[in-house]
Amino acid sequence: MAQSKPRIPDTPQHFLECDMKDCERNCQYYCNPCHQQMCEQCRDEHRRNPKTKTHEVVQYQLRKRQLPVKKCEIHPTKDIDLLCEECKIPLCSKCATTPEHRGHPFNDLETIYAEKFSFCLEEITKSREYFLPTSQDIQKEIKGDATEIKKVIDNIRTSMNSEAESLKSLMDEVHSENMKQLDQIEHSLLEDLKTQGKTFDEYIKHLKNLIKEFQDFLSSPDPTKLTLTLSLVDMKIQPIPETTKPVTPVFTAGQYGKEDVAKLLGNISIPEIKPETRKIKLMEISSALTPKKPTSKQLKSDKGKSKVKQTLSLSSSVTEVREFSVPGVDNVFHMSLDQSGRLWVSDGNGNLVQTDLQGDQLQMMQTRTGEGYHTTTQDGDLIFTDCHKNVINRITLDNNITEFIKTGDWFPLSIHSSHINGDLLVGMWKDEEGKVTRYNKTGKELQNIQRDNKGQGLYSHLHYITENINGDICTSDKTEKKAVVVVNKSGKHRFSYTGQESGFSPYGICTDVLGHILVCDNQRLHILDQAGQFLSLLIRPGSGIDPTCVCVDDQNNLYVGDFSTNSKVLVYKYLQ
Kindly report, residue by residue over 213-234, the tens digit of the pLDDT.
Answer: 888 878 877 777 667 766 666 6
Query: What pLDDT score was predicted for residue 311?
Result: 62
Count of CA atoms in the C-beta half-sphere (13 A) of 232: 8
Name the 3-class secondary structure at 124. Answer: helix
Residues 388 and 255 in one domain: no
List Cβ neighbours of 201 (8 Å cut-off, separation of 6 or more). Answer: 139
Query: What pLDDT score was predicted for residue 414?
Result: 94
**Confidence check: pLDDT of 284 > 60:** no
Residues 224 and 368 in one domain: no
Residues 256 and 404 in one domain: no
Residues 330 and 469 in one domain: yes
Amino acid at 274: K
How far apart, in whole angstroms, are the C-alpha atoms of residue 154 and residue 436?
Answer: 51
Residues 436 and 562 in one domain: yes
Residues 224 and 122 in one domain: yes
Residues 126 and 212 in one domain: yes
Closest CA relative to residue 531, chosen from 521, 516, 520: 516
Instruction: Report if residue 98 sits inside a domain.
Output: no
Average pLDDT estimate for 552-570: 89
Query: What pLDDT score was predicted for residue 257?
Result: 54
Could you read off the pLDDT of 102-140 as tens digits, one per residue? 889 998 888 888 888 888 888 888 888 888 988 998 999
Instruction: Report if residue 283 sits inside a domain.
Output: no
From the CB of residue 182, how many other CB atoms can be counted at a distance below 10 Å?
A: 17
pTM: 0.50
Query: What pLDDT score was predicted for residue 123?
Result: 85
**Strand pairing class (334-337; 314-325):** unpaired
Angle at alpha carbon of residue 43, lines to 38 and 47, rounded to 5°: 145
Residues 330 and 223 in one domain: no
How far apart, in whole angstroms, are the C-alpha atoms of residue 225 and residue 238?
Answer: 22
Lowest-pLDDT range of 157-161, 224-228, 379-383? 224-228
Instruction: Report if residue 101 sits inside a domain.
Output: no
Instruction: Report if residue 428 sits inside a domain.
Output: yes
Average pLDDT estimate for 368-380: 87
Instruction: Report if residue 22 sits inside a domain.
Output: no
**CATH for 386:** 2.120.10.30
Range of the domain at 516: 320-575
Query: What pLDDT score was predicted for residue 171?
Result: 61
**Confidence check: pLDDT of 289 > 50:** no
The span from the first CA to the last CA of the chain, in angstroms, equals 59
Of the residues 269, 290, 310, the one at which a domain ends: 269
Could you read off the pLDDT of 476-506 as tens digits, one per residue? 998 888 999 999 988 899 999 999 888 899 9
Average pLDDT estimate for 525-533: 91
Query: What pLDDT score was predicted for residue 370?
Result: 82
Contact 34, 55 (CB under 8 A): yes
How far apart, in whole angstroms, are the C-alpha atoms of residue 528 and residue 547?
Answer: 16
Sign of the dihedral defined by the CA atoms of residues 42, 48, 50, 52, in that order: positive
Residues 465 and 571 in one domain: yes
Percent of the chain with pLDDT over 70: 87
Could you read off the pLDDT of 501-526 as tens digits, one per residue? 888 999 999 999 999 999 999 889 99
Query: What pLDDT score was predicted for residue 297?
Result: 43
Query: What percent helix, strand, coil does the chain show, rounded to 5?
Result: 30, 30, 40
Instruction: Report if residue 192 sits inside a domain.
Output: yes
How far apart, in whole angstroms, are the C-alpha atoms of residue 532 and residue 515?
Answer: 10
Instruction: Report if residue 54 sits inside a domain.
Output: no
Query: What pLDDT score was predicted for residue 504?
Result: 92
Closest CA relative to residue 417, chosen from 398, 397, 399, 443: 443
Mean pLDDT of all residues belonging to the chain: 83
Percent of the chain with pLDDT over 90: 32
Average pLDDT estimate for 155-174: 76
Instruction: Report if residue 48 sits inside a domain.
Output: no
DSSP annotation of 243 reads: -
- Count, residues in the chain: 576
**Confidence check: pLDDT of 301 > 60:** no
Residues 566 and 466 in one domain: yes
Of the residues 205, 237, 269, the one at which a domain ends: 269
Number of domains making up the chain: 2
Residues 209 and 353 in one domain: no
Residues 400 and 470 in one domain: yes
